[in-house]
């Protein structure tokens, strides 16, 4: 319906609608707003044509400019790999000793190694490699399987007690449970072992017990742990004369180790990490173990 009524105050036409006694003016959208709407719509249509926009099934409209976040990211990953290449290729080509002598390379090893360690090893060995019960401390210079980056790299590649054909095999028999020793013998030898690293464990009262324990040790344990009880890296038998325990050094824990045996499991890494990453990690772990062999 055409309304020809004119508002006397503004001089504009009204729409004819009346709300609570107020007549509505027939005011068109301001030109500026209209222009803005037209421009933004045109902009959108132009962008749809130029850039990847609409999903269509498994793919999407690629846009005539061919710009793609995925290819941009891939390119920048490639670029950073190339930026790293100079030191990576040096790590690959130099020997462990040569790398250790090169402070600049070792600085890269420390940062990259720390990162790799955090991603792959910290869950068991702790962020700083200090270990916890059942998981050895890697930040000391005491090695079950031998120190030095070559031995460590081998431990990483094949793992410990794994299915790998060359796995390191470390089996501490269950002397108590499998009845190779009776209960008293287990306690005697545990007391003797405990006295090796803790002089206060040896008292006037238990001197006989420790003697008996020493005898059990001589006949049963030296094959793996050695006559001096300092261990054997070939068999993964740890040194029992220091205070660094994998499974705890209280008399109770030592009895538990001897009674039930121990077979620590460490995964293999040769399929999960590249040879270069294993080399960097071996250097890093050796380095946090104060680099002492």
Please identify, using beta-carbon distances, which residue of 158 and 237 lies nearer to ligand HEC: 237
Please identify, using beta-carbon distances, which residue of 91 and 246 lies nearer to ligand HEC: 246
Tokens of residue 282, six digits: 């071996």
CA distance linking residue 183 with residue 257, whole number of Å: 13
CA distance linking residue 114 with residue 105, whole number of Å: 14
Q: Which range touches ligand HEC (CB under 6 A), out of 8-16, 36-44, 92-100, 243-251?
A: 243-251
Question: Taking CB under 6 A as the rule, does residue 238 contact ligand HEC?
Answer: yes
Report the nearest approach of ligand HEC to the CB of residue 142 (Å): 7
Please identify, using beta-carbon distances, which residue of 14 and 108 lies nearer to ligand HEC: 108
Q: Which of 88, 109, 135, 288 binds ligand HEC (CB under 6 A)?
A: 135
Please identify, using beta-carbon distances, which residue of 212 and 225 lies nearer to ligand HEC: 225
Report the nearest approach of ligand HEC to the CB of residue 93 (Å): 22
CA distance linking residue 166 with residue 159, whole number of Å: 9
A 10 A CB-CB count for 259 gives 17
Tokens of residue 187, six digits: 């306690």
Question: Taking CB under 6 A as the rule, does residue 254 contact ligand HEC?
Answer: yes
Question: Taking CB under 6 A as the rule, does residue 262 contact ligand HEC?
Answer: yes
Question: Taking CB under 6 A as the rule, does residue 136 contact ligand HEC?
Answer: yes
Nearest to 278 by CA among 81, 106, 117, 148: 117
Report the nearest approach of ligand HEC to the CB of residue 205 (Å): 21
Tokens of residue 230, six digits: 């300092």
Question: Taking CB under 6 A as the rule, does residue 257 contact ligand HEC?
Answer: yes
| Burial readout 10-30 (b: 16 or more C-beta within 10 A, e: otherwise) | eeeebeeeeeeeeeeeeeeee
Tokens of residue 269, six digits: 């890494």
Nearest to 241 by CA among 222, 220, 266: 222
Q: Which of 167, 224, 230, 251 binds ligand HEC (CB under 6 A)?
A: 224
Up-side HSE of residue 141: CA atoms within 13 Å toward CB? 6
CA distance linking residue 178 with residue 125, whole number of Å: 30
Q: Which of 225, 268, 279, 288 binds ligand HEC (CB under 6 A)?
A: 225
Question: Taking CB under 6 A as the rule, does residue 269 contact ligand HEC?
Answer: yes
**Site residues (CB under 6 A) for ligand HEC, limited to 148-167:** 152, 155-156, 160
**Site residues (CB under 6 A) for ligand HEC, limited to 69-108:** none
Nearest to 138 by CA among 247, 288, 293: 288
**Site residues (CB under 6 A) for ligand HEC, limited to 114-133:** 120-121, 123-125
Question: Taking CB under 6 A as the rule, does residue 210 contact ligand HEC?
Answer: no
Nearest to 178 by CA among 95, 65, 261, 58: 261
State the residue for tokens 């050895």. 136
Report the nearest approach of ligand HEC to the CB of residue 85 (Å): 23
Residues that bind ligand HEC (CB under 6 A): 120-121, 123-125, 135-136, 138, 143-145, 152, 155-156, 160, 170-173, 175, 189, 193, 217, 220-221, 223-225, 235-238, 240, 245-247, 254, 257-258, 262-267, 269, 281, 285
């Amino acid at each position: 319906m055409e309304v020809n009524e004119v508002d006397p105050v503004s001089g504009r036409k009204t729409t004819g609608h009346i709300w609570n006694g107020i007549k509505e003016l027939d005011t068109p959208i301001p030109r500026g707003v209209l222009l803005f709407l037209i421009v933004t719509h045109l902009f959108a249509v132009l962008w749809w044509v130029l850039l990847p926009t609409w999903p269509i099934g498994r793919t999407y409209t690629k846009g005539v400019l061919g710009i793609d976040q995925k290819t941009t990211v891939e390119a920048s990953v490639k670029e950073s790999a190339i930026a790293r290449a100079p030191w990576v290729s040096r790590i690959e080509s130099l020997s462990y000793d040569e790398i250790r002598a090169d402070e600049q390379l070792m600085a890269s090893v420390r940062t990259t190694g720390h990162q790799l360690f955090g991603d792959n090893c910290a869950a068991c060995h702790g962020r700083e490699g200090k270990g916890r019960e059942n998981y050895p401390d890697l930040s000391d210079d005491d090695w079950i399987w031998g120190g030095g980056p070559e031995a460590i790299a081998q431990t990483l590649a094949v793992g410990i007690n794994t299915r790998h054909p060359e796995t390191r095999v470390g089996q501490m028999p269950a002397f108590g449970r499998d009845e190779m020793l009776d209960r008293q013998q287990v306690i005697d030898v545990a007391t003797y072992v405990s006295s090796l690293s803790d002089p206060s464990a040896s008292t006037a009262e238990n001197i006989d017990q420790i003697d008996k324990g020493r005898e059990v040790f001589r006949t049963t344990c030296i094959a793996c742990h050695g006559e001096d009880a300092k261990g054997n890296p070939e068999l993964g038998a740890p040194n029992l004369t220091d205070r660094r325990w994998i499974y705890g050094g209280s008399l109770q824990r030592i009895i538990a180790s001897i009674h039930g045996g121990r077979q620590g499991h460490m995964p293999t890494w040769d399929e999960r990490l590249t040879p270069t990453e294993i080399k960097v990690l071996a250097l890093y772990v050796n380095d946090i173990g104060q680099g002492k062999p």
